[in-house]
Amino acid sequence: MTIYAAPGQPDSPVEYKSRYDHYIGGEWVPPAKGGDFENPTPVTGENFTEIARGTADDVELALDAAHGAAPGWGRTSAGDRANILNKIADRIEDNLELLAVAETWDNGKAVRETLAADMPLTIDHFRYFAGALRAYRGVNETISTLLLNYIAIALLNHIVEGPLRDPASLNKPSTLPIGDDNMMGNLPGLDVHWGLAFGVGACLVTWVLMNRTTFGFAARMVGGNVRAALLNGLPVGQLIVIATFIGGACAGLAGSIEVAAIHGTAFGGGEKTTEPATRFSSGASGNSSRVGLRSATVT
């Protein structure tokens, strides 16, 4: 286990200044009315730096700087904005250890968490939004699928907790049970329900569709090189929509089997049967120029 020296020590990756002003408009600015406060570290309880004390005047100064920068930023293309966000992510990644130790010293969280979770997640967020910007006016299939999953979960929760709710369900809203007679049984001679057969069948059908049909060939061409697909006159948008529809249908099949074979009812509030929507990567996968079907796995 690596043990890090306190900031300012010879072996420490971090060194704090004795005092920090506000950072406004790309430069350090002293507080409008002066004053500062001590910033102790939870690690030792001792103060390790002083921070400028802000007032409403400082907030207004920051807002003026933001409003002044807004027009230029608004004229910046989505691609250039994405490049800036990626550069920020790169800088964080290049200084990951330094920032992780600084974060630990500031908030007291274990350094293993800031190294393995906080900083990497921060990097991922910048790269995620950079990818979203690149997909502006040509939405990335993976991003839209992930975001729409949450809309689907919210709609399911609304239906389960509303018109389809079982009056007998109190703390955990659910639909009326389908009944034991309507539950999906097991495969003959096995202790596994028929969902396995449906899942394997869906995988085989998808494989045949993608590798033995003209649709599959066209979809793979879109996934390999969308520009070449456009030059060959392929309906790229239509192919993407169909691919995502098939992938969503696979996830829907998985969810319905989980209800019919395991729970016998659908739960709201993110419980049980709403989990597949977050676990299954259904729809088009890959980057903004790649289409591929992922068959949902039945669990």
Report DSSP letters for 196-253, one per residue. HHHHHHHHHHHHHHHHSSHHHHHHHHHHH-HHHHHHTT--HHHHHHHHHHHHHHHHHH
Q: Looking at the predicted structure, is the pLDDT value of residue 147 above 50?
A: yes
Pick the range with the lowest mean pLDDT from 20-24, 121-125, 186-190, 267-271. 267-271
DSSP 174: B
Name, of 75-79, 192-196, 260-264, the range with top average pLDDT.
192-196
Last residue of a domain, which of 26, 43, 75? 75
- Count of beta carbons in the 10 Å neighbourhood of residue 216: 17
Residue 149: inside a domain, yes or no?
Answer: no
**Which pLDDT belongs to residue 152?**
80
State whether residue 100 is helix, strand or coil. Answer: helix
Last residue of a domain, which of 29, 56, 75? 75
Q: Looking at the predicted structure, is the pLDDT value of residue 85 above 60?
A: yes
In this predicted model, which residue has the larger pLDDT, 224 or 15?
A: 15
Structural domain span for residue 42: 15-75
Residue 129: inside a domain, yes or no?
Answer: no
Residue 242: inside a domain, yes or no?
Answer: yes
Q: Looking at the predicted structure, is the pLDDT value of residue 157 above 90?
A: no
What's the average model confidence in pLDDT over 214-242?
Answer: 83
The overall pTM is greater than 0.85: no
Q: For residue range 112-122, what is the model confidence (pLDDT) as tens digits?
A: 888 888 888 88
CA dist., res. 92 & res. 16, Å (int): 17
The pLDDT-based confidence of 64 (bands split at 50, 70, 90) is: very high
Torsion over CA: 162, 165, 168, 172 (sign): negative
Q: Looking at the predicted structure, is the pLDDT value of residue 283 above 60?
A: no
Pick the range with the lowest mean pLDDT from 188-197, 211-220, 290-299. 290-299
Residue 58: inside a domain, yes or no?
Answer: yes
Last residue of a domain, which of 52, 75, 98? 75
The pLDDT-based confidence of 131 (bands split at 50, 70, 90) is: low
What's the average model confidence in pLDDT over 145-158?
Answer: 78
Residue 185: inside a domain, yes or no?
Answer: yes
**Which pLDDT belongs to residue 230?**
77
What's the average model confidence in pLDDT over 173-194?
Answer: 87
Number of domains in the chain: 2
Q: Looking at the predicted structure, is the pLDDT value of residue 228 above 60?
A: yes
Residue 68: inside a domain, yes or no?
Answer: yes
Residue 128: inside a domain, yes or no?
Answer: no
Phi and psi angles of residue 225, each rounded to the nearest 5 degrees, phi first = -160, 100
Residue 295: inside a domain, yes or no?
Answer: no
